[in-house]
A and B are shown apart, each in its own frame.
Chain A
């Protein structure tokens, strides 16, 4: 149980284009999902908290117009990297928290974004 999927697993795009990443909870409902960014050999940096049916809460320093988050259902959250640039290249990982739970997070497999 508690399986989280992400799509795509990797993507290469040209500078200036937008990329959408999907995060799905497959066997449970998640009122809250989280989006992290991870640089090589570094820790997980929380970008934003995504709540179903409401606006995402962004961490300090994360541009909300750059990283658009939508959480339209209890099993799906999307992250759109708009007007991507090479510095946006990174490993993006989502996690989901069980509805009714206050803490335990289950992670997706991650999406490796490379912007040329």
Chain B
């Protein structure tokens, strides 16, 4: 099955700086890669996703890039704000395409 690795596990940045989280996946048949943000004790919220037919997608301060050849994708947050502090999870849908495999998560702390 699909295996997703996520790095780093923790990330501390100064407010206003950029944050980058990287994920690698094992199944070349994966074609859908969502990113979720989870605040403490709350539900994961979909913040952005990308499909394998594009290499980059941007939504305001958030962007995701995908390198299918290398089987990795990254989340970029620019101009970080304290409210960006949360745990971020990447995921991939695998060959069957009907379920998501999640990375281990990255705890992001934005220091004011």
Contact = CB atoms under 8 A, between A and B. Distances in A.
Q: Do A and B assemble together?
A: yes
Interface of A: 4, 32, 34, 41-44, 46, 49, 93, 102-110
Nearest to A51: B98
Contacts of B41: 110
B98 A49 contact: yes
22 contacts: A32-B98, A34-B100, A41-B107, A42-B104, A43-B89, A43-B103, A44-B89, A44-B102, A49-B98, A93-B43, A102-B32, A102-B97, A103-B97, A104-B46, A105-B34, A106-B46, A107-B36, A107-B43, A107-B44, A108-B43, A109-B43, A110-B43
Interface string B92-112: 010001111111110100000
Per DSSP, chain B at the interface is loop
Interface of B: 32, 34, 36, 41-46, 49, 89, 93, 97-105, 107
A34 B99 CA distance: 8
B100 A107 contact: no
B98 A44 contact: no
B27 to A, nearest CB: 14
A32 B96 CA distance: 14
Contacts of A42: 104-105
A43 B102 contact: yes
Contacts of A32: 98
B29 to A, nearest CB: 13
Contacts of B99: 34, 46, 49
